[in-house]
Amino acid sequence: MANLCAAALPDLPSAVGRPAYDLRAVGIGIVHLGLGAFHRAHQAVFTDSVLATDRRWGILGVSMKTPRATAALAAQDGLYSVIERSQEGVSLRVIGAVRETLFAAGDPAALVRRLADPAVHVVTLTVTEKGYCHDPASGALDFAHPDIVHDLAHPDAPRSAVGFIVAGLAARRASGAGPLNVVCCDNLPHNGRTLEGLTRAFAQHRDPALAVWIDANAAFPCTMVDRIVPATTEADVAEAARRLGVADQAPVVAEPYNSWVIEDRFVAPRPAWEQAGAQMTADVQPFETMKLRMLNGSHSTMAYLGYLMGHAYIWQASADPLLADLVERQMAEEIAPTLVAPPGVDLSAYGRQLMERFRNPALPHRTYQIAMDGSQKLPQRLLGTARERLAAGLPIRHLALAVAGWIRYASGTDERGAPIDVQDPLAAAFRQIVRDANADPGPVADGFLDLASVFGADLVAHYAFREAVRANVIALVRDGARATLARHLGVA
Ligand code: CS2
Q: Ligand 1 atom 9: the closest Cα is on which residue?
A: 228
From the CA of 370, how far away is ligand 1's center (Å)? 7
The whole-model pTM stands at: 0.97
- For residue 299, give the ligand 1 atom closest to its CA: 6
Residues facing 127 on adjacent strands: none
pLDDT score recorded for residue 84: 98
279 Cα–ligand 1 center, Å: 20
Superfamily of domain 6-281: NAD(P)-binding Rossmann-like Domain (3.40.50.720)
Query: Of the candidates 382, 384, 402, 400, which has an alpha carbon nearest to the alpha carbon of residue 392?
Result: 384
Instruction: Find the 307 Cα to ligand 1 centroid distance in Å.
Output: 16
**Which of 187, 191, 350, 377 for mutating ligand 1's site (highest number of atoms within 8 Å of CB)?**
187
CA–CA gap between residue 339 and residue 350 (Å, rounded): 12
Atom index in ligand 1 nearest the CA of residue 38 equals 7
Spell out the residues 6+ positions from residue 225 whose beta carbon is closer than 8 angstroms to its own.
Answer: 38, 42, 43, 126, 185, 186, 187, 259, 260
The closest-lying atom of ligand 1 relative to the alpha carbon of residue 369 is: 3
In angstroms, rounded to a whole number, what is the distance separating the alpha carbons of residues 263 and 222? 5
- Residue 368 CB neighbour total at 10 angstroms: 18
DSSP state of 338: G
Nearest Cα to Cα of residue 96 among 126, 73, 123? 73
What's the gap in Å between 375 CA and the centre of ligand 1?
15
Q: Where does ligand 1 bind, in terms of residues with CB under 6 Å? A: 187, 226-228, 295-296, 299, 369-370, 377
285-488 has the same fold as 6-281: no
**pLDDT for position 492:** 78
Q: Which amino acid is at 149?
A: V
Interval between CA 173 and ligand 1 midpoint (Å): 36
As a whole number of angstroms, the distance between CA 92 and CA 85 comes to 9
| Distance in Å, CA 292 to ligand 1 centroid | 9
Domain boundaries, the chain: 6-281, 285-488
Q: Residue 197 Cα, ligand 1 centroid: separation in angstroms?
A: 24
Q: How far apart are CA 438 and CA 433, in angstroms?
A: 9
**CA-based nearest residue to 122, from 279, 270, 278:** 270
Beta bridge partners of 94: 81
The answer to whether 155 and 149 have CB atoms below 8 angstroms apart is: no
Express each pLDDT in 194-234 by its tens digit.
999 999 999 999 999 999 999 999 999 999 999 999 999 99
Distance CA 472, CA 478 (A): 10
Please tell me the residue having the least CA distance from ligand 1 atom 3.
370
In this prediction, residue 172 carries a pLDDT of 98
**Average pLDDT, consecutive stretches of 10 residues, N- to C-terminus, the chain (492 residues):** 96 97 98 98 98 98 96 97 95 98 98 98 98 97 98 98 98 98 98 98 98 98 98 97 98 98 98 98 98 98 98 98 98 98 97 98 97 98 98 98 99 98 98 98 98 98 98 98 98 86
For residues 283 and 192, is the Cβ–Cβ distance under 8 A? no
Q: Which residue's CA is the nearest one to ligand 1's atom 8?
A: 228
CATH of 285-488, one of 2.40.50.140, 1.20.120.1200, 1.10.1040.10, 3.40.1010.10: 1.10.1040.10
